Structure 1
Amino acid sequence: MKKRCDWTTSDQIYIDYHDYEWGKPKHDDQELFEMLCLEGAQAGLSWITILKRRENYRKAFDNFDPEVVQGYDEEKIQETLQDEGIIRNKLKVRSVVTNAQAFLKVKEEFGTFDAYIWKFVGGKPVLNEWEKHADVPASTDESVKMSKDLKKRGFKFVGPTICYAYMQSTGMVNDHTKECFLYHAGRG
């Protein structure tokens, strides 16, 4: 049996997320936007709670197309808040619209969101060497810098801990622990 990071449960959706997504570098702007929104939705909740609702979030937010989401009016926001398939937190739902607007401004400035966000790790994944899950920090200097810059640009639900989780989920950092079968992935 494969040894995985300790945070992975026996739930197949979690196993698949760990094995095929978490820690793998993502550079597609729409995917980066989706993950930023989902990590923000997770604030105060477990990741599995959001992961199990990811398809519902995709439907509710037009597949996280920032061009569409940035134009949501009050009627569309209220409609989205009625969707039982997502976490119906008013601040979190509104933040997706706000973040789409901020995302598009960043994209306009840097050409792509990818070019902007990956600068926080020098353009390539940070390959950490944690022995066990308890060694993995909740935030780092890089996630603090990212958080401050995102907030300055108008993003919401982007605190240092959320930013670090985002960095992990998008492969900006590889935090698979040494005992995990994926530890050596991306290490050449």
Structure 2
Amino acid sequence: MPGAEFTMLVQRERACLLIIDMQERLLPAMAGLEPLLHQAGILIRAAKRLDLPILVSEQYPKGLGPTDPALRGLLGNEVSPLPKTHFSCADDPGLKAELLALAEQGRDQAVILGVEAHVCVLQTALGLPQLGLAPFVVADAVASRRPESRQLALDRMARDGVEIVTTEMMLFEWLGQAGTPEFKELSALIR
């Protein structure tokens, strides 16, 4: 229909994974920690298997510690977390440079997971369009200390044009089709 707006699917050749502040001293305070870590693990495994670039932020690591050790193990040595003090990754000079470089390479879709949903995730998601990136926030892979803060953040982001998705949606959008070795391997992660 002429003039209608259509939502785009996330495409693996255009996507990157942005993991926000999944740090060892911050995570224990999050509501729904176990499901958060489970979904994060699925997304990391899938992104690595499909060769998606992965960026990891750490908010004030001196005070909040490094990225959770289990997640670091999944990420491996090829992913180095970037420290920040800005709440928004889009405002932090180091992360902003990395995001802009990815956008210039055609990686203009940022799939976001992490904490806290109502602070760093929200501010990043709302700031990414100014850098030319479309934000996709994975609802079952973000958390806050209080569930109501998480829900209000998801509602606000959706109202402001951020696409809210799930881990399973991302997995199947990245895959694009069944019958491939990647499909067989990665679809097993959600069974």
TM-score, length-scaled by structure 2: 0.28
Task: Report which of the two structures shows the higher radius of gyration computed on alpha carbons.
Answer: 1
Question: Per residue, is there more helix in 1 or in 2?
Answer: 1
Question: Per residue, is there more strand in 1 or in 2?
Answer: 2
TM-score, length-scaled by structure 1: 0.28
